[in-house]
Structure 1
């Protein structure tokens, strides 16, 4: 009888605890992400040794599987300093970073028990490279993103279209003979994802490779449930078929503003990994302008770097990160205190709105001529100034019909040449009250 009473009390306490743990909504999980604005993508792996394409060089038969994997002998990570990485990311204004824990080639950067094909067992690095990365980001109060390719072109149960040596000895499969090849593979990748989830508790999973199989084959629905069970606050990119939390356009910046949370990932040159022969780096102005276009449409920029096999970041990439960081620092009021800007048609260029919608930030890509136009603003304007140097600009309204609530055009003085930014100049327009926009088609003036 006493045992029964104790059991009832325990069940009551457990049920109350479960009820108290409310499941986070998608919007709650995405809250930090929507304010992040800048993340750093890190493609680091064997492919940097020869400076070739990550994984795809095997797929396109530009290198044999054996020669590709032989690069591991020179993947040393001897100068890997994740603390310096994290400090750099923090300095330039990034709020999160995403590391390739396993690309399509199957090489894991952490000490996984599900595969011998990992940097601890196969390379001179001889250690887990993910754990110190995660710890360094946490120490700088940065969010942790882990990239994981669902496909694995080394796994013996995953079919590939290029010649590959027998890799069964690299993947322990004890007591799995009764499973089909695909069941074994699902067990494998879910095991690795559980390791990453429980060992590192990432804020974000960045999946890739989902195009090779269907949602049903990937067990995408149950995988998403498992990820949230292991870490209730984690968010997932759109490459888990239809089970992602935000969209991830790549390389080509969207022309039409995407709906919902989104992130644009882009390389600094033409390749993701360390590729020393690729010197086609984007000019700093292009990177800054891309960043502005993305955040003005409510997205984040995930800007890629490709560290060398020794763990150092190429100077060309550091220079571009730091230049972007200086621009962000100068204009941080517009960057981090803002959301997506005005609809198209009100201003000839990107815009941002303060979260309380009392300020509009106008982004000038080029030196304006004559005057700057802003259309459809019904509010009275308190002031207009240049961010970064606080030059006040005069302004006047031109045209419009106040009695029909048609505000006309706000004509703004051009900033002095010395106050124009080298990349993107930002004007702060302070309004009286929250933004009121005129979005009409215009009317005939029937009363003067």
Structure 2
């Protein structure tokens, strides 16, 4: 199926890692996998998970304020603890924690009330399920997958019947999410621990799309995913097809109180601008505390990014990837009609901003957010090789504290010279 247009137009999503791991502020599921906590210690967090101040409507308003068009919530991480009222498996926050609430239902309703698309994260793997460590990966990607007791049978002997039970459980839980919540996006994870055939990815994809054909699937559905999901670093080259950069506000996915390395608003604006300039979305991760509230530092970052997006909306929404590297020293976007370039300048421009290789005549240049027009001229050029467009630097009053954006209105659709110059 063709990609759903809303996804490529969204630009920003919010990734929420919320679960019992926020009680002790430990790495989500991984503190169980690495042995930092025993299974008993890890699951004792069920007793302290209250969600006592969880307000899905406040979440949705904050995400909209940040400029996001969708969000993704960890409906079930690798630890196997479901955040919704599931009829499959013995672990969910409705029955096993003081929260006693279907958090996914509230989240889904709140997002839709704010006009946001609903994304749900679900891990193929479940390190708590009794039937999970029942088969071996035919080509393990690393030693851990080949030997870890939460992943692989201790005796190395496969139990196909147990694995069939596990896949049926996985499919039933995904079926609940689709039938009950009709998610716009399913964000899978954990796929590296089994092969595509073992996971039954084709059958799972067909099951999802038969129920809700508009659901977008991420790349952790392997051959049946719709878009790529690089993590924690902007690619140096634009990935082929739709994609999304998954990035944490600090260094942790979930709530970890010792992690105070929050990226500044300016840094987040840079990540965001560089991502949309290559045609991707930014999926920005925040981790609520166990009571359901976000740290003030994370709220401040979301609101700051939202302020920048709101001021520069025309350079963000209804745009596509901008110029290839070398034409402008910074990221850029291009209007959908390909007649306006948006040049993003992270540092205050000095004297001029240059643009190389532009064949088009320029109708007007202005500062996005203030509308102030800027002088511009072309120098040089010979034959088919265009000259350099020089744009006067904006006055200090027009310089944005995070990143200044210049709108270059063109005569006709963008026409770039990509050659090597005259011999």
Of residues 271-280 and 178-187 in structure 1, the stretch that sits farther from structure 2 once superposed is 178-187
Aligned length, in residue pairs: 403
Counterpart mapping for 1:367-382 below 5 A: 367-382=348-363
1:411 maps onto 2:390 in alignment: yes
1:368 Cα offset (Å):
2.5
> Which aligned segments of 4 or more residues in structure 1 are displaced greater than 6 angstroms?
none
Rounded to whole Å, the distance in 2 between the matches of 1:432 and 1:368 is 25
1:76 Cα offset (Å):
0.3
Match of 1:251 in 2: 232
Rounded to whole Å, the distance in 1 between the matches of 2:318 and 2:176 is 36
Match of 1:133 in 2: 107
Match of 2:139 in 1: none
1:337 Cα offset (Å):
2.6
Cα shift readout 1:197-241 (whole Å, capped 9, x = no counterpart):
000000000000000000000001111111110111111000112
Match of 1:189 in 2: 170
Note if contact 1:64-1:163 (Cα within 8 Å) is conserved in structure 2.
no
Rounded to whole Å, the distance in 2 between the matches of 1:220 and 1:163 is 21
Match of 1:53 in 2: 27
Rounded to whole Å, the distance in 2 between the matches of 1:288 and 1:263 is 15
Q: SS at the partner of 2:408?
A: strand
Rounded to whole Å, the distance in 2 between the matches of 1:226 and 1:161 is 30
Selected match of 1:84 from 58, 62, 76: 58
Selected match of 2:409 from 404, 407, 430: 430
Selected match of 1:357 from 315, 321, 338: 338
Match of 1:93 in 2: 67
Rounded to whole Å, the distance in 2 between the matches of 1:432 and 1:121 is 63
Q: SS at the partner of 1:242?
A: helix
Note if contact 1:190-1:223 (Cα within 8 Å) is conserved in structure 2.
yes
1:51 Cα offset (Å):
0.7
Selected match of 1:199 from 173, 180, 184: 180
Selected match of 1:74 from 48, 58, 61: 48
1:163 Cα offset (Å):
7.5
Rounded to whole Å, the distance in 2 between the matches of 1:283 and 1:162 is 40
Change (3 A) 1:32 1:163: closer
Match of 1:62 in 2: 36
Cα shift readout 1:336-368 (whole Å, capped 9, x = no counterpart):
031100112211110100000110000001122
1:260 maps onto 2:241 in alignment: yes
Selected match of 1:309 from 290, 297, 305: 290
Note if contact 1:59-1:162 (Cα within 8 Å) is conserved in structure 2.
no
Q: SS at the partner of 2:223?
A: coil
Change (3 A) 1:372 1:184: same
Selected match of 1:338 from 319, 322, 326: 319
Note if contact 2:244-2:283 (Cα within 8 Å) is conserved in structure 1.
yes
Rounded to whole Å, the distance in 2 between the matches of 1:115 and 1:313 is 29
Rounded to whole Å, the distance in 2 between the matches of 1:211 and 1:269 is 25
1:253 Cα offset (Å):
1.3
Rounded to whole Å, the distance in 1 between the matches of 2:18 and 2:405 is 35
1:225 maps onto 2:206 in alignment: yes
1:179 Cα offset (Å):
7.2
Structure 1: which 5+ residue stretches go unaligned?
1-24, 165-177
Cα shift readout 1:391-413 (whole Å, capped 9, x = no counterpart):
21111101002xx2322100111
Selected match of 1:161 from 131, 139, 148: 148
Rounded to whole Å, the distance in 1 between the matches of 2:318 and 2:72 is 23
1:36 maps onto 2:6 in alignment: no
1:297 maps onto 2:278 in alignment: yes
Match of 2:419 in 1: 440
Rounded to whole Å, the distance in 2 between the matches of 1:370 and 1:140 is 43
Cα shift readout 1:42-83 (whole Å, capped 9, x = no counterpart):
000011111110000011111111011001111001111101
Structure 2: which 5+ residue stretches go unaligned?
134-146, 152-158
- Larger radius of gyration, structure 1 or 2? 1
Counterpart mapping for 1:313-332 below 5 A: 313-332=294-313
Note if contact 1:373-1:412 (Cα within 8 Å) is conserved in structure 2.
yes
Match of 1:22 in 2: none
Note if contact 1:61-1:162 (Cα within 8 Å) is conserved in structure 2.
no
Q: SS at the partner of 2:233?
A: coil
Match of 2:141 in 1: none
TM-score, reference length from structure 2: 0.93
1:180 maps onto 2:161 in alignment: yes
